[in-house]
């Protein structure tokens, strides 16, 4: 069996090998092989291609493989129109756990600001700092609107409810103000502008697609309260970049936690700006380099899942999480 792994995925060869009960041929390719045909000869004939992205400038000539296993959930890096005949694509989740932990951490960061409390602590200033303590806010009783109520949104919601937060879901499955899952109310995307003024927090956790691209713009920032906080753990392009920059500069909202970006390096020696604007220069933008889902636990669970799917492919069993082709 030939298993080709591209970019970051190639660093997880050992996890797959440890889980598989049989020998296989492993080929590791650089990040650039996601979109450049330069390594296609090495991909050609693979049983499994593990790659987060798969695009080709010349659609006529693409390598053949049986299974494209995306080692993540997002499919916006895959051009399904160039999938080889008879091939199948699968994805993996497991990131809802770290992403929900990240989202809760940002909300607690906004209320508590542990780092600031620590930075001002020393023996000499203790008495003054103690006596001058200013009360902070609580998550308890606050409202979080979760845009996109899939695995990630629901994982955030479960934790937010345990904190006594009110959870309002924005979901395509919402009907009559309700949807199944850990929330007290739910609405369709068309109704979001009416609901946004109620939010203390807005968490974006929807997929990027034609319906969501640029869907969070000036109108939505105007609908949010000045003391509200936006947390984007979906895809940057869900939010109109200029509208976001204006909202933060004009303090239409209190803060934005931004973990997802408008541009990413294509290759390992590539250097790109994450956005047109320098968001990190804005005091009310809290920027992190797409770390929300990046945990040891994530990789253990994901590569264990991928290995199990590869074993199924070998034995002819039904694959799990099929997103393209015949299961």
**Which residues in this chain contact a copy of itself in the complex, by CB under 8 A?**
97-98, 101-102, 104-106, 108-109, 111-112, 114-115, 117-118, 120-123, 126-131, 133-141, 158-159, 161-164, 261, 264-265, 268, 270-275, 278, 280, 286-291, 294-299
Query: Is 98 or 325 the residue whose CB approaches a copy of itself more closely?
Result: 98
Tell the smallest beta-carbon distance from residue 103 to a copy of itself (Å): 10
Tell the smallest beta-carbon distance from residue 15 to a copy of itself (Å): 12
Query: Is 211 or 297 the residue whose CB approaches a copy of itself more closely?
Result: 297
Side-chain-side CA neighbours of 165 within 13 Å: the count stands at 29
CB contact at 8 A, 52 and 77 = yes
Place of tokens 């979109």: 35
Tell the smallest beta-carbon distance from residue 54 to a copy of itself (Å): 19
CB contact at 8 A, 211 and 189 = yes
Side-chain-side CA neighbours of 194 within 13 Å: the count stands at 7
CB contact at 8 A, 41 and 29 = no
Tell the smallest beta-carbon distance from residue 283 to a copy of itself (Å): 11
Closest CA to 285 of 244, 254, 252, 256: 256
Tell the smallest beta-carbon distance from residue 255 to a copy of itself (Å): 12
Query: Is 62 or 259 the residue whose CB approaches a copy of itself more closely?
Result: 259
Query: Is 102 or 305 the residue whose CB approaches a copy of itself more closely?
Result: 102
Tell the smallest beta-carbon distance from residue 29 to a copy of itself (Å): 16
CB contact at 8 A, 286 and 232 = no
Query: Is 87 or 295 the residue whose CB approaches a copy of itself more closely?
Result: 295
Tell the smallest beta-carbon distance from residue 140 to a copy of itself (Å): 5
Query: Is 260 or 313 the residue whose CB approaches a copy of itself more closely?
Result: 260
Query: Is 72 or 325 the residue whose CB approaches a copy of itself more closely?
Result: 72
Closest CA to 297 of 114, 94, 107, 127: 94
CA distance 267 to 281: 26
Tell the smallest beta-carbon distance from residue 35 to a copy of itself (Å): 16
Query: Is 21 or 115 the residue whose CB approaches a copy of itself more closely?
Result: 115
CB contact at 8 A, 113 and 136 = yes
- Residues in a beta bridge with 68: 49, 89
Helix (H) or strand (E) run with residue 19 in it: helix 13-19
Place of tokens 């970051």: 8
CA distance 60 to 201: 46
Place of tokens 């995307």: 189
């Amino acid at each position: 069996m030939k298993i080709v792994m591209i970019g970051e995925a190639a660093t997880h060869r050992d996890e797959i090998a440890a889980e598989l009960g049989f020998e296989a041929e492993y080929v590791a390719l650089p990040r650039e092989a996601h979109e450049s045909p330069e390594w296609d000869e090495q991909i050609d004939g693979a049983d499994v291609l593990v790659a987060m992205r798969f695009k080709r400038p010349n659609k006529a000539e693409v390598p053949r493989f049986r299974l494209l296993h995306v080692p993540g959930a997002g499919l916006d890096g895959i051009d399904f129109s160039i999938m080889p005949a008879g091939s199948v694509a699968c994805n993996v989740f497991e990131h809802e756990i770290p992403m929900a932990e990240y989202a809760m951490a940002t909300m607690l960061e906004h209320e508590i600001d542990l780092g600031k409390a620590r930075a001002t602590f020393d023996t000499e200033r203790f008495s003054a700092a103690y006596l001058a303590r200013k009360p902070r806010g609580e998550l308890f009783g606050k409202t979080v609107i979760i845009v996109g109520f899939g695995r990630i949104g629901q994982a955030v919601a479960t934790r937010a409810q345990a904190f006594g937060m009110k959870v309002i879901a924005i979901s395509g499955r919402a009907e009559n103000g309700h949807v199944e899952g850990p929330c007290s109310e739910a609405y369709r995307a068309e109704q979001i502008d009416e609901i946004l003024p109620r939010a203390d927090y807005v968490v974006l956790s929807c997929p990027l697609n034609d319906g969501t691209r640029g869907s969070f713009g000036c109108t939505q920032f105007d609908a949010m309260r000045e003391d509200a906080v936006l947390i984007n753990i979906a895809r940057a392009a869900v939010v109109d970049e200029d509208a976001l920059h204006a909202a933060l500069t004009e303090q239409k909202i209190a803060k934005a936690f931004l973990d997802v970006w408008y541009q990413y390096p294509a290759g390992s020696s590539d250097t790109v700006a994450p956005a047109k604007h320098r968001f990190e220069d804005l005091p009310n933008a809290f920027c992190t380099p797409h770390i929300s889902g990046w945990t040891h636990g994530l990789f253990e669970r994901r590569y264990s899942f991928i290995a199990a799917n590869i074993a199924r492919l070998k034995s002819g069993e039904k694959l799990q999480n099929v997103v393209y082709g015949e299961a």
